[in-house]
Amino acid sequence: MHLLGSCPDAAGRTKGRGMQRRKTIALTPEEQRRFLEESHTIILTSNDRRGYPHSVAMWYVADRDGTVVMTTFAKSQKAVNLRRDPRCALLVESGRTYLELKGLLIRGRATLDDDVEHVLDVLERVHAKYDTPGPAEGLREAMRGQAGKRVVIRVRPERVSSWDHAKLGGAY
């Protein structure tokens, strides 16, 4: 069965209306930026040593250019995985019903940065975004001990897929 009456080509791929539909529901660059900024948790997927996906929920911040930045402990499994193979995927999604589904899938390569000041910069930004308890004043110095054990994970998008089923206007 093929969606929207589209016909497969010799390789089994569908053409025509399916591609138009994909374009119809895609988020614009501005919608992508706003969705990424406003979303709460992102799923980071790295590849373990056997090649299996390793997915974890992360708090993050996004730069204006779409780069996604977060911190983790330097010895964490995700950091180990990303040092070995920097290819990764990030997923943010929302919605409970079909017509509410909205998401952003970002594929890219991660870089890890263990500079304590850079880690502190990201920790401060994450603290501000998530409004975590405690005073903002003196936060940097309070987090300095923890920052020495952490790294920044920076993912620059190489390929982005997005969808917003509300753009279908009630049609499946």
Which tokens is 6 given? 């589209």
- Residue 20, pLDDT > 80, answer no
Q: Which has more confidence, 136 or 112? A: 112
Return d(Cα 157, Cα 88) in angstroms, integer: 10
- pLDDT bracket for residue 5 (50, 70, 90): very low
Helix 116-130 to helix 139-147 angle, to the nearest 10 degrees?
120
Whole-structure pTM value: 0.84
Least confident residue range of 76-80, 137-141, 155-159: 137-141
pLDDT in tens, 84-128: 999 999 999 999 999 999 999 999 999 999 999 999 999 999 999
